[in-house]
Amino acid sequence: MFEFIYELHDAFAQAGLPDPWQETLHLCDILSGGALRGLDGRSPHTLTPQALSLDDIVAQRQQGVPLEYILGQTVFMGRPFTCTPATLIPRAETELLVKTVLKHAAGLATDTLTIVDVGTGSGNIAVSLALALPHSRVFALDISPEAVAQAQQHVTTYQLQDRVSVRCGDLFAPVSEEGLAEAVDIVVCNPPYIPSGSLSKMAEEIVAHEPLVALDAGPYGINIFRRLVSDALTYLRPGGLLAFEFGAGQAVLVQRLVQKSGGYTPCQLVPDHTGTPRVLQTQKSISGSQ
């Protein structure tokens, strides 16, 4: 295994990639399905999901293609997920959002929960929550038909068809006829939050390969936040949780949006491992029933 790792590092270094060790460890983590974070000792080179030569991988990385798209898979919450350019790459940062929801769910008196995942993308959040909360009912929504197809594939892969419904449409529109008004326990969302003007400043690897619909959030980066905060009040039960990810530097802005809505309890901001606030959680006010 160590010989394989050094071979990868040397290939990335000779190709002139900026951080060969990061490339190597990232590749091994994906190929092992996250086993490098565990203790099972699996060798990553025996787990490659498709017949790719090291030369192919290096050549595509030199062109800026993300490893996840090259390999066709990624790891989220310790589980493998198929990864294609149809959806945003599930990233480790978003695991904080899932963990925030699970911590909230652990404190509830019931484990029979109705959850709506808005902008589900590949379905990684919806699937992860459904697997961790076996008595939950999850609705996974996305405006992109391609994303919905990929999310459905993951639901099938993890045999969650009886508890996870994947729907296509804008925000909550796909569940408007489901009788979920004031019946949802948790609304979770990893929305687009990059201001349009900032897209050009992002890494070429991201903007040139990942779907812009999952990144571009309008001139100020708050288009979806504003609608999410407002529309979620229709579906959340009193006391229901709204949790969403936001970008660095947007903490004050998203707090103000929630406060101005008048329908929620005071916000809590959850920091990432660097101490930067990245997830907002709040609950629908008991007196704020619509």
Mean pLDDT computed over 124-129: 98
Higher-scoring residue by pLDDT: 276, 207: 276
Burial class (CB in 10 A: 0-12, 13-18, 19+), 117: buried
The two tokens of residue 278 are: 């990245």
Pairwise CA distance, residues 193 & 202, whole Å: 13
Residue 236 belongs to what H/E stretch?
strand 236-245
Instruction: Look up tokens 């704020």; give the residue.
Output: 288
Q: Check whether 202 has a pLDDT greater than 80.
A: no
Mean pLDDT computed over 244-264: 90
Least confident interval from 108-122, 176-190, 209-223, 266-280? 209-223
Mean pLDDT computed over 147-161: 97
pLDDT band per the 50, 70, 90 thresholds, residue 36? low
Contact 136, 117 (CB under 8 A): no
Q: What is the pTM of this model?
A: 0.81
Mean pLDDT score across all residues of the chain: 83
Least confident interval from 3-12, 114-123, 162-171, 231-240? 3-12
Q: Check whether 39 has a pLDDT greater than 80.
A: no
Q: Check whether 201 has a pLDDT greater than 70.
A: no
pLDDT band per the 50, 70, 90 thresholds, residue 50? low
Q: What are the pLDDT digits (tens) for 51-95? A: 567 888 888 888 888 889 898 889 999 899 998 888 888 988 899
Q: Check whether 189 has a pLDDT greater than 90.
A: yes
Instruction: Report the C-alpha dihedral over residues 239, 241, 242, 244, rounded to 10 degrees.
Output: 160
CA 75 to chain centre: 11
pLDDT at 1: 57
The two tokens of residue 207 are: 């903007």
pLDDT band per the 50, 70, 90 thresholds, residue 248? confident
pLDDT band per the 50, 70, 90 thresholds, residue 249? confident
Percentage of residues in the chain having pLDDT higher than 70: 81
pLDDT at 7: 78
